[in-house]
Structure 1
Amino acid sequence: MQFLLRLSRGIDALNQRVGYLCDYLILIVCFISAGNALMRYTFSYSSNAFLEIQWYLFGAVVLLGASYTLKRNEHVRVDVLYANLSERGRLIVDAVGLLCFMLPVMIFLIYLSLPVFLQSYASGEKSVNTGGLILWPAKLLLPLGFFLLSLQGFSEFIKRCAALMGLIELETKYEKPLQ
């Protein structure tokens, strides 16, 4: 189990770095958006490439940032049951949910999205918009984001199992949203 916990820490560190990258991507998107608006209203110049790079970067933030959100335990929960469970009950619900639902769905989404990316890459697919960008980097975000989320799901499963075995302490406190 110690090997798995070390692996979990490595996965956590990877997704922590990816999360920090996403923080900077948001800043870059803001500058691109502001620059695009400034050029459009000041010089009456715009390009579809400016709009598309914003979409690509926002997609990167959502798809790559999901694993960081899971790592920080800030994802959406159905609190009808979860908030009323004991700590052990929450650990069990998390472990079962990760193993039976989240991981199989992520693996299936990787299976579906990888051929889409590979075909786009092989064909050199470009946007149909004038001045548009190549599409494969945006399509790469799909399998990559699902892969990172799968890794983080596996890491969270390891931590839940270790906590259930009493090897580590894991915070499961959950506060219901204010109504």
Structure 2
Amino acid sequence: MPELIKKYVRLTDRISDVTGIIAMYLIFAMVFILILDAVSSGMQIYLHWCIELAQFILAAYYFMGGAKTMKDGDHVRMDLLYDRLSPKGKTWIDLVTIFCLLFYLVVMLIGGISSLEYAIQTDERRFSMWNPSLVPIKALMVGCLVLMILQTVAEIIKHIADLRGTPLTASAKDAA
């Protein structure tokens, strides 16, 4: 593989790792906010923003964790037949499903961009007492979809390299 492609794969993997680690720490922020809400409610002080902010953090958590999950091979897979395949057969199945995923992610990205544009143009807000803007979470969603697409392309490159007999990195399956 050309050096530029290897650098792309390494950079994408690194960005996915960092984004995934940031997502991991969001859980602590969410737990803190939920505890704050419980304690303040017990003291008859009602913070109307706590539950909604926790929901936004949870959404950010799963958006941001997607690329790292894919990179590490930690996603859910139906192993009924997959485990019985040879490594080369698994790679071929992974390539087929990754192309399906890529199509799905591109469609999601098109919808996400449309939704973000609408949110920006109309200053879309969540109808609630707190009334937060939806632009930040939708922008994060679009950014994370782009990262997922970049990671998907990196995974395609890794699988092609595996089929050619020149693996770029140790795959998550080999590490397990």
Q: Structures share a fold, TM > 0.5?
A: yes
5 Å matches for 1:49-128?
Answer: 49-99=49-99, 101-128=100-127
Aligned to 1:33: 34
**Distance (Å, rounded) in 1 between the aligned partners of 2:29 and 2:151:** 25
Residue identity matched to 1:68: K
Taking the aligned partners of 1:78 and 1:17, their CA distance within structure 2 comes to 28
Instruction: Indicate the SS of the match to 1:48.
Output: coil
TM-score, normalised with respect to structure 1: 0.90
Q: 1:19 maps to what in 2?
A: 20
Measure the CA separation in 1 of the matches of 2:150 and 2:82.
23
Query: What amino acid does structure 1 have at the position aligned with 2:89?
Result: G
Hey, what does 2:7 align to over in structure 1?
Answer: 6
Determine the C-alpha separation between the residues in 2 that align with 1:48 and 1:124.
Answer: 21
User: CA RMSD, aligned part only?
Assistant: 1.7
Distance 1:92 1:4 in 2: 20
Distance 1:24 1:174, change over 3 A: closer
Whole-angstrom distance in 2 between the partners of 1:46 and 1:116: 32
Q: Which runs of 5+ in 2 are unaligned?
A: none
Cα pair 1:87 1:173 within 8 Å, conserved: no
Asked if 2 retains the 8 angstrom alpha-carbon contact of 1:159 and 1:170, the reply is no
For 1:10, give the aligned amino acid.
L
Gaps of 5+ in 1: none
Q: d(CA) in 2 for partners of 1:23 and 1:64?
A: 9
CA contact (8 A) 1:59 1:141 kept: no
Distance 2:138 2:8 in 1: 28
Q: Which has the higher contact order (CA 8 A, sep 6+)?
A: 1
What TM-score, normalized to structure 2?
0.91
Partner amino acid, structure 2, of 1:149: M
Contact 2:108–2:145 (8 Å) recurs in 1: yes
| 1:41-85 Cα distance to aligned partner (Å, 9 max, x none) | 12x122332111111110001111111111110001111121110
Q: Distance in 1 between matches of 2:54 and 2:62?
A: 12
Q: What is the letter of the counterpart of residue 74 of structure 1?
A: D
Q: Structure 1 counterpart of 2:63, which letter?
A: L
Asked if the contact 2:13–2:71 (Cα under 8 Å) also holds between the matched residues in 1, the reply is yes
Within 2, Cα distance between the matches of 1:65 and 1:96? 23
- Deviation, 1:156, is 0.8
Instruction: Give aligned-pair identity as a percent.
Output: 24
Residue-by-residue CA offset, 1:64-123 (whole Å, 9 max, x unaligned): 111111111000111112111001111111112112x01011001100111111111222
Per the TM alignment, residue 174 of structure 1 is displaced from its structure 2 partner at its CA by: 10
**In 2: Cα distance, 1:162 partner to 1:118 partner:** 38
